[in-house]
Chain A
Amino acid sequence: MSKLLLSIIVLIFFGSCNESDRLAQTEPEIISPIVDINIRDSEYNFERNAYFGDVHVHSMYSYDAFIFGGIASPDEAYEFAKGGSVRHPAGFDMQLDSPMDFYAVSDHAYYLGIVKEMASGDSDLSQHPVAEGLDNLGDDLNFRRSVFLRFADFANAGNGGEIMDDTVVKNAWDDIVASANRHNDPGRFTAFIAYEYTGTGPEEEMLHRNVIFRDGIAPELPFSRINSDDPQDLWSWMDSNRANGIESLAIPHNSNVSDGLMFALTDYAGRPLDSAYASQRVRNEPLVEITQVKGTSETNPALSPNDELAGFEILPFKIGGTIPIKPEGSYVRKALLDGIKLESEKGFNPFSFGVIGSSDNHNATAVGNEDNFYGVSGLLDSDGQKRGSLPINSSENDSNVYFDRYTRFGASGLAGVWAEENTRESIYDSMRRKETFGTSGPRLKVRFFAGHDLPSVNDAELIAKSYSDGVAMGGNLIVEDAQPISFIAWAAKDPNSAPLQRLQIIKGWVDAGEAHEKIYDVACADRLQVDSITHRCPSNGASVDLADCSIASGVGAAELKTRWEDPDYDATQHAFYYVRAIENPTCRWSTWDAIRAGVAPRDDVPATIQERGWSSPIWINPE
C-alpha cells in the first residue's frame, strides 16, 4: 500500500518536472524595451550624498536574540528599516521617525537558525541535551540568561559543531539572502546580504566581525567560528570567495571588549605581525565599528588622558561579568597610532581602517534615540527596571551586576556614508574607499578633506575642488617636497537633534619612534574663538534641564565649517587626522527612563551625554 502511494507521489513529482521543463522551453513574448528614466530619484550626485544606515542587527535566526525572546524575521527587520513597525517581544511597537537608507541583517553564523529549530522542531536536534528548556523559555529572565550562557559555554568548550546541522543553517541562510535581495530597491533603499562572524579568543575575548556582501550573490554557507576562531581563516575564505566573484568586506566590532586582542600586535597564534598579515587584513577589513550599544570603541581615558571627551559610553568589563578589560589593543585610536608606527618602522600598516557606527541591536531594529530607547536584548532589557536605569532594590535579586551591564549600554550606533546614490554598488564602494563616518545615534553629517591647495570654505565650488585637489576621508595624502597641507572640516547637525557645540580634529603622529596624539578644537559654535594655546573652545554654556530634559535654545550651531592648518605640522612625519563633531549636551536614555518613571536618575551613571560623529581618518605619508 505504502509503495503504491510512493509511486503516486513519484509520478506527480516527475510529472511536475516535465511540465516545468516544457514551460521553460516556451519562448516568452518579447517585451518592449525598458525606458531608462527614474523620475523617483534624480539624486545621482557626483559630489556625493550622505546616507544613513545600520549594518548590524540581529533577527530570530541569532541564537541569543531568539533566547531573549526575539521572533522578528529578516523580512520584518527590513520592513522596519523602510519605515514600518515591528512588535517588540514585550508587546509594544517600534518604529523609526525617518526610514533608513541602508540596512543589513547580520545574524550570528554559528548556531544560525539552530536554536529556533531546536525550540520548534521534533527533530533529533531538539533531543540534544543542550536544547533542554528551549521549547518553554517562559517569563523567568534568569532562566533565559542561563540558557544563553549554556549555549555560549557549549561553543566556547569547542562543542558547537555537534549541533551545527548544515540543513538548518542553510535554510536560515537562504532565507536571509532572499530577504535582502527582495528588499533591496536601487535608488530608494539598500539591503545588504550580511552575517556576523563571532570569532572568540582563548579567554572568550570578542573578535567579532560583520561580513557584508556587495552584490546579490552569497556563498553556499557563511564561515563561522565553528570553522575557525582565527580571523585570518575568515579572511582567506573571503579571499577565495573574491577570486570566485563574491565580493565582501568584514567590519570588526566591540574591540572595546576584546581585552586587547582585536588590535593586538601579534596574530591569533601569537606571532608578530608582518606585511603579508597587514595586506590581507587591510584587503578584507577596510572599516571598524567605532560605536554601538555595547560601548564606544574610539578611545579610553586610560589611553587618552588629555582628551576630556574620551570617557564616552565606555563599557569597562568583559561581556557577562565584571572582569576589567585591557585598554591597549582594544580601542580604535590606539590601533591607528600603532598602525602608523608600524608603517614608519616596518613599512606596513595593518590598522589603516576607516570607521562606521551601527547598533548590534538584537530586536531586529536599529536603536531609537535617547528619548525612545527600548533596549537591545528582547525581554531582558525591555523596561527601565530591567535595564537598570531606575534605582535597583538590591535585596530583590542577585543579578545586579548583570543589570548594571545594561545600564552601561548606550543608545548608540549609526553608519554614515558619502555615496553618489543609494544603491548597493555605490554604498559598498564608499565603504571600500572608507568615505564613511559613524555617529552615536543622531543623523549628523561629517565631511573631511585634506590637500596641498584646498579652497576657502566660502568657495562656491568647495566640494568639487576639495575632491579634485585633495583627498576625502579614508584617503592617503602623499606629501611632496614638504609642501604645506590644509584641511576642510565640516559638520551639519541632525535636524531633529541638538545643535553642534564644536568641531575637533584628532591628530596622531610618529616622532622619533614614538606615537603621539593631540586634540584640536577647530571650530566653536556661538562665535566663540579657539584658544590658541590650549586649542579648546570656551564653554558655550549649553545646559540641560534635568527636570524634563529640555535644552536651552539659542545655543549651538546648525553647522560648523572650517579650513584648518596644523600649527604643529612636520612634513617628515607619518600622521593621521580625523574629525570629531560634538553636539550640545542632552539627556542620556537612562535619564529619560527615570523622568518618565518619576524618579531621580541614578547618580552613578552620567545624566547627560554629548552625542557625536567621527569621520574616517586621512593618513599623511611623507614621500
Chain B
Amino acid sequence: MTDAIHPPALRVTDDMACPSGDWTLIALTPRMASLRRALADAGATRWDLSELTRLDSFGALLLWRAWGHRRPDQLMLPPAFDAQFARLDALGDAPVPPHPRFGPLDALAALGVAALSLVQHVGDFLALIGRLALDGLRLLTQPRQWPIKEFSANLFKVGVKAMPVSALVGFLIGVVLSYLSALQLKAFGADIFIVNILGLGVIRELGPVLVSVLVAGRSGSAMTAQLGVMRVTEEVDALSVMGISRYVRLVLPKVMALSVAMPLLVLWTSAVALLGGMMSAELQLGLSYGFFIETLPKVVPPANLFIALGKGAVFGFLIALVACHFGLRVKPNTESLSANTTASVVSSITLVILVDAVFAIATRSIGVPV
C-alpha cells in the first residue's frame, strides 16, 4: 500500500459491475460526475468489489445508494471492507429525521410566540426595574456595599470615552443645521432668529436625542455584548454562586453610570453643536460671536436646559436598563448574542424616541417663549 492514488473506475460487463481503484473522497472528487453517471447507468445485479484498493465511508455510501440502500443479492465483498457496509446496513433502519418544513401553521405559531415573547419582555423588564429598586433600597442601609469602583469605571467608559465622537457629531450637526436655516432665514431677512432656532432646537430636542442614539449604539450595544459573553462563559453564574447579586454588581453600576453620564454628555454635545452653529452663522450671516452668546440666554429660557438634563438622565437610565435586560437574556450561542445585541440597540432607540414624545407633550407649556 503506497501513498499514490489509484484512480477509481467502474467497469460493467453484462450484469456484472466491478468498481476498482481507490473509492475514497479524495480520489473520487475529481471524477465525481462521470462516476455518478456510471453508477446510475450500471443496472447490474452482480457486484464484485474485490478490485477495490481502498474504500472509505463516502465511497461505500455512493455504492450503497447505487444499490438502493441495501446490499445486492450477489455481492463479492472482501472482508476488509465489510465493516464499512455493516455500518450502512445499520443506518437503513434509523435514518436521520428530516427537517420539518415551515408551513402556514408554523407561521401562525411563530406569530403567537412573538406576541407572547413581547409580553414576557415587558414582564421581565419590569421585574428588572423592581429588583434594581429592591437592591437599591437594601443598599441604603449598607452604604459600604455600593459598587463605587464599578460605577467609576463605567462612568469613564460610557462618559469620558464617548466625548470625542459625540463632540464631532454634535459639531457637524450644529454646522449643518445652522447652514440650512441660515439659507431660509436670509430670504426672509430674519437673520437673528438663527439664535432662537439653534438654541431651542439643539438644547431642548436635538442634543438629548442625538446623544441617546449615539450612546445606545456605542455603550448600549457594548453593555449587552459584555453581559452576554459573561453569560456564555458562565461568569454571571460564578457571581451568583459566590452570593454576589448580579443586579448590584453588574446592572446597577451600568445604570447609575449612564444615568449620570448622559446629562453631562448632553450638555457637552449641545455646547459643541451650538459652537458649530455659531461658527457657521458667523460665516454665513456675519452674526458676531458676541451677539450670539449675548442673545442665547435671552431667547432660550433656562427651563429648557433643565428639561434637557432631565431627558438625558431618563434616556441614559432606559438605555442602560434595556441593554442589561437583553444582555442577561443571551443564551450560550453566537446567534443569540448577535440577536440580543441588535434587539438591545433597536429597542433602546425606539424607547428613547417614544419617551421623548411623552416629554414633548408633558413639557409643552414649559420653557417655550410665546
- Do A and B actually bind? no
Question: B residues touching A (Cβ–Cβ < 8 Å)?
Answer: none
Interface residues of A (CB under 8 A from B): none
